[in-house]
Amino acid sequence: MNIRTGSSERQIYVGGEYVPENEARISVFDHGLLYGDAVYDTACAWSGKVFKLDEHVDRLFESAHALKIDIPLDKEGVKEVVLEVMRRNKLDNAYIKIIVTRGVGRMPLMSPYHCKPNLIVFAIPYLSLIDNRVQQEGLRAGISSMRRIPSECLDAKIKCCNYLNHILMRMEANEAGLDEAIELDIGGYVAEAPGYNVFMAKHGVLYTPGENILVGVTRQTVMELAVAEGLQTVVGRFTAFDLYNADEVFLTSTAGGIFAVKEVDGRTIGRGKPGPITLMLNQKYMELLQSGAQSTPVHA
């Protein structure tokens, strides 16, 4: 991948050093590569400020703690690395990834012991998972034939680097000519989408799942904005039937914010375009990003 940044050579933090991209290396014996034994978090920066950096770093540490991975730096140290990567790449609007692998053990075997964890941070110009046209018109989604791995097997709150479940569902949707997949849990209830949380609106009430999901920072932000606007928000179970008959459906993600869903399994959602609640919340979200009110300045 060769993505232009504000510098002549993108700088990556890896193994305790800031290095040019073409010098960034991890061992082929790293557990993150061999077994997906790693955690990560994704943040975004807008107008030279990183949005909800504390929340993203807190979630990273919670994920690592759940997997008994010791992050090489403390929280303040990780935040400073994120900000320094932004500075070195001369970025104002950015997509930021923070990865912590369990690292390399004594032998290339599955044993998680005696490994030295590795911290990787990179930032690239801000990007969205969905192109502008789809974002403006709404995306087409389908219920996946596969199911979300239940939290009884791998807790969905852990933001780990094993995304095969999501990737296969997205491939299934894309190869069927759809923009995105909707994931159900083993019980048949809506969980999330690959890389997104799911919301629906019905009769002026906002609904979002609360089980078998990653607790997204953008999801939480949307819920806070909804409360501020006097919208009732219900966290609970709902099915594909409920999605089909919703007034509005939208997805939320750090990489892009809020995306309207205009169709699910060939059923038009509402009027088949972004609805008033979706548009209002997206506007409030973008205003919050631009204001920097809940962001950390890159340059103090």
DSSP string, 229-250: TT--EEES---HHHHHT-SEEE
Residue 145, amino acid: S
Question: Which fold, 11-125?
Answer: D-amino Acid Aminotransferase; Chain A, domain 1 (3.30.470)
User: How much is the pLDDT for 183?
Assistant: 98
- 33 by Cβ neighbours in 10 Å (0-12 / 13-18 / 19+) ranks as middle
User: How much is the pLDDT for 300?
Assistant: 77
- Residue 263, beta-bridge partner list: 140, 268
Residue ranges of alpha helices (H) inside 124-274 are: 132-137, 164-175, 217-228, 240-244
Q: How many CB atoms lie within 10 A of CB 62?
A: 15
Please give the helix or strand (H or E) that residue 54 lies within, else none: helix 53-66
Which residues lie closer than 8 Å to 30 by C-beta, 6 or more apart?
101, 102, 103, 104, 118
User: Between β-strands 190-192 and 49-51, what pairing exists: parallel, antiparallel or unpaired?
Assistant: unpaired
CATH classification code of 132-290: 3.20.10.10
Residue ranges of alpha helices (H) inside 99-235 are: 132-137, 164-175, 217-228
Per the CB < 8 A criterion, the answer to whether 191 and 237 are in contact is no
User: How much is the pLDDT for 274?
Assistant: 96
Residue 152, amino acid: E
Would you give per-residue pLDDT tens digits along the chain (300 residues)? 344 444 458 999 999 999 999 999 999 999 999 999 999 999 999 999 999 999 999 999 999 999 999 999 999 999 999 999 999 999 999 999 999 999 999 888 899 999 999 999 999 999 776 677 777 899 999 999 999 999 999 999 999 999 999 999 999 999 999 999 999 999 999 999 999 999 999 999 999 999 999 999 999 999 999 999 999 999 999 999 999 999 999 999 998 789 999 999 999 999 999 999 999 999 999 999 999 999 999 997
The residue ranges of every structural domain in the chain are 11-125, 132-290
Tokens at 177, concatenated? 């000519």
Per the CB < 8 A criterion, the answer to whether 194 and 180 are in contact is yes
